[in-house]
């Protein structure tokens, strides 16, 4: 069976859930081979095997960690040359999409970004994308070269199987031209103990209506084991870090349940959450556009509704 390359998203060997999703999707198209950049493969191997990776190509070249994007794109191109895969699947985070972009130019191969579903078709993978702030659905395919597809989190339910996860070191040659944008400092983001925003099953977000007090939002999120998000208005006001922003210029989330508290629902925000399965909103303004999207809405003050709801949820969970 033809190989399908899957770029592993990990931090020092701790594999993100998106990787299990991509391996699951890759099995629809061929035999998944994981591509592992950096160190920590011993730790990652078990998960990669569990979701069906037959091989794990490991690239440890130091340049991959020292310089932005370009060396990873070169390494990926060399792996594609070697393996002639049926497709290359890359998680849709910022650097993933940039690697995909450079790879597309290098290989003269078509690129589809932000797929929310990928199926096998007669002429290669068929993708589904959600566009224009989630108001349109587009199906597409690559018509030239090796299909390169970036896939959003939560696009598949990870299905365990048995993979050999045979580790194969892969030596790459990184050109001097790729060693130009140097990463001179890297500070890991502070851990909150909450689920990852883009991976969480439930997200509770706060907006302008919090007035800067996110405590009720965080407490309600914790009662539901949810991630916390914020609207652009809240981030621009300096109330919550940008890395938690949900919307066009922040994260796109597609959880089972999205709860918007004190968020009006401007297009910028809708772009980041419109495809959530169930949507709930709490807002003082009954005219807020967010109510057009909801399955359930409460017209009221989040500062009274959320604490009472938190108490009730905690009581029920006992």
Positions 31 through 70 that interact with another protein (CB under 8 A)? 68-70
- Alpha carbon 214 to chain centroid distance? 24
Q: How far is CA 64 from CA 44, 56, 182, 191, in A?
A: 18, 17, 10, 24
Within 126-185, which residues bind another protein (CB under 8 A)? Answer: 126, 130-145, 177, 180-185
Residues 6+ apart with CB under 8 A from 304: none
Closest CA to 48 of 59, 33, 58, 37: 33
Least distance (Å) between residue 139 CB and another protein? 5
Given 157, 186, 193, 287, the residue binding another protein (CB under 8 A): 186
CA dist., res. 313 & res. 318, Å (int): 8
| Footprint of another protein on 92-121 (CB under 8 A) | 93-95, 97-102, 104-106, 108-114
- Point out which span in 41-49, 50-58, 157-165, 287-295 binds another protein (CB under 8 A): 287-295
**Does 291 interact with another protein (rule: CB under 8 A)?**
yes
User: Which tokens sit at 63?
Assistant: 């340049």
> What minimum distance in Å lies between the beta carbon of 271 and another protein?
8
Q: What is the closest distance, in whole angstroms, from the C-beta atom of residue 179 to another protein in the complex? A: 9
Quickly count: other Cβ atoms within 10 Å of residue 128's Cβ: 15
Interactions with another protein, residue window 197-256 (CB under 8 A): 198, 202, 224, 242-243, 248-249, 256
- Is 78 a binding residue for another protein by CB under 8 A? The answer is no
How near is the Cβ of 90 to another protein at its closest, in Å? 11
Report the C-alpha gap between 270 and 97 in whole angstroms: 22
- Residue 293 as a binder of another protein (CB under 8 A): the answer is yes
Other C-beta atoms lying within 10 Å of the C-beta of residue 150: 24
CB 274 within 8 A of CB 293: yes
Least separation in angstroms between residue 163's CB and another protein is 25
Which residue's CB is nearer to another protein, number 45 or number 152? 152
Q: What is the DSSP letter of 242?
A: G
CB-nearer residue toward another protein: 28 or 31: 28
């Amino acid at each position: 069976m033809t190989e399908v390359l899957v770029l592993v998203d990990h931090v020092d060997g701790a594999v993100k859930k998106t990787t299990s999703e991509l391996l699951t999707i890759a099995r629809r198209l061929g035999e998944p081979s994981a591509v592992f950049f950096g160190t920590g493969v011993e730790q990652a191997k078990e998960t990669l095997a569990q979701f069906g990776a037959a091989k794990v190509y490991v690239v440890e070249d130091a340049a991959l960690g020292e310089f932005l994007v370009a060396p990873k794109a070169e390494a990926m191109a060399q792996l594609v040359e070697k393996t002639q895969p049926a497709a290359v699947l890359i998680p849709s985070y910022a650097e993933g999409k940039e690697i995909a972009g450079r790879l597309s130019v290098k290989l003269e191969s078509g690129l589809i970004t932000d797929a929310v579903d990928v199926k096998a078709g007669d002429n290669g993978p068929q993708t589904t994308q959600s566009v224009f702030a989630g108001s349109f659905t587009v199906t597409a395919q690559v018509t030239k070269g090796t299909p390169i597809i970036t896939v959003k989190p939560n696009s598949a339910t990870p299905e365990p199987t048995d993979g050999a996860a045979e580790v194969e070191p892969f030596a790459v040659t990184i050109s001097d031209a790729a060693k130009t944008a140097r990463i001179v400092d890297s500070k890991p983001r502070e851990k909150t103990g909450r689920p990852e925003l883009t991976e969480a099953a439930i997200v509770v977000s706060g907006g302008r209506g919090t007035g800067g007090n996110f405590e009720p939002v965080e407490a309600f999120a914790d009662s539901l084991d949810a991630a916390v998000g914020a609207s652009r208005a809240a981030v621009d006001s300096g109330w919550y870090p940008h890395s938690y922003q949900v919307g066009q210029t922040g994260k796109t989330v597609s959880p089972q349940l999205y709860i918007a508290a004190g968020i009006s629902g401007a297009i910028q925000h809708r772009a980041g959450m419109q495809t959530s399965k169930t949507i709930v909103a709490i807002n003082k303004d009954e005219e807020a556009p967010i109510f057009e999207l909801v399955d359930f809405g409460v017209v009221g003050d989040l500062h009274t509704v959320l604490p009472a709801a938190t108490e009730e949820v905690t009581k029920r969970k006992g």
